[in-house]
Structure 1
Amino acid sequence: MRTILIVIGIVLLGAGLWVVFGHGSYSQTDTVFQLGSLKATATHDKAIPEWLGIAGIVVGGLLALGGLLSKR
C-alpha cells in the first residue's frame, strides 16, 4: 500500500508540473457544417486549466509524502 501511494503521488506530481508549465493540452473536434452526408469539421487544441495542474501537484505531493511517512 505504501509503494502504491508513493507511485501514484509521483505520477500526479509529474502530471501537475507538466500542465502548469504549459504543455498540457487536448484536441476537440467540432462539426462546423453538415448538409446530408457532407460534413465540415474543425479541430481545436485546448489547454488544460492551470488550477487542475496545481491541484495535481498538491494532491500528488501529499500522497507521496503520506506514503513516505507511513510506518507500515
Structure 2
Amino acid sequence: MRAILIVLGLVLLIGGLWVVFGHGSYTQTDTLLQVGSAKLTATHDKGIPQWLGIGGIVVGALLTLGGFLSKR
C-alpha cells in the first residue's frame, strides 16, 4: 500500500509539473461541413488548463508524503 501511494503520487507530481511548464496538450478534431459522405474537418491543438496541473502537483505531493510518512 505504501509503495502504491508513493508511485501514484510521483506520477501525479511529474504529470502536474509537465502541464504547468506548458508541455501538456491534446488534439481536438471538429467537423466543419458534411455533405453526404464528404466531410471537412479541422484539427486543433489545445493546452491542458494550468489549474489541472497545479491540482496534480498538490495531490501528488500529498500522496507521496503520505506514503513516506505511513507507519506500515
User: Normalised by the size of structure 1, how large is the TM-score?
Assistant: 0.99
Runs of 4+ off more than 4 Å: none
In structure 1, the residue corresponding to 2:16 is in which secondary structure? helix
- CA-based RMSD of the aligned residues comes to 0.3
Gaps of 5+ in 1: none
- CA distances 1:6-50 after superposition (whole Å, capped 9, x unpaired): 000000000000000000000000001100011000000000000
Aligned residues: 72
Mapped to 2, the partners of 1:27 and 1:58 lie a distance apart of 26
Percent sequence identity over aligned pairs: 76
Gaps of 5+ in 2: none
State the match for 1:35 in structure 2.
35
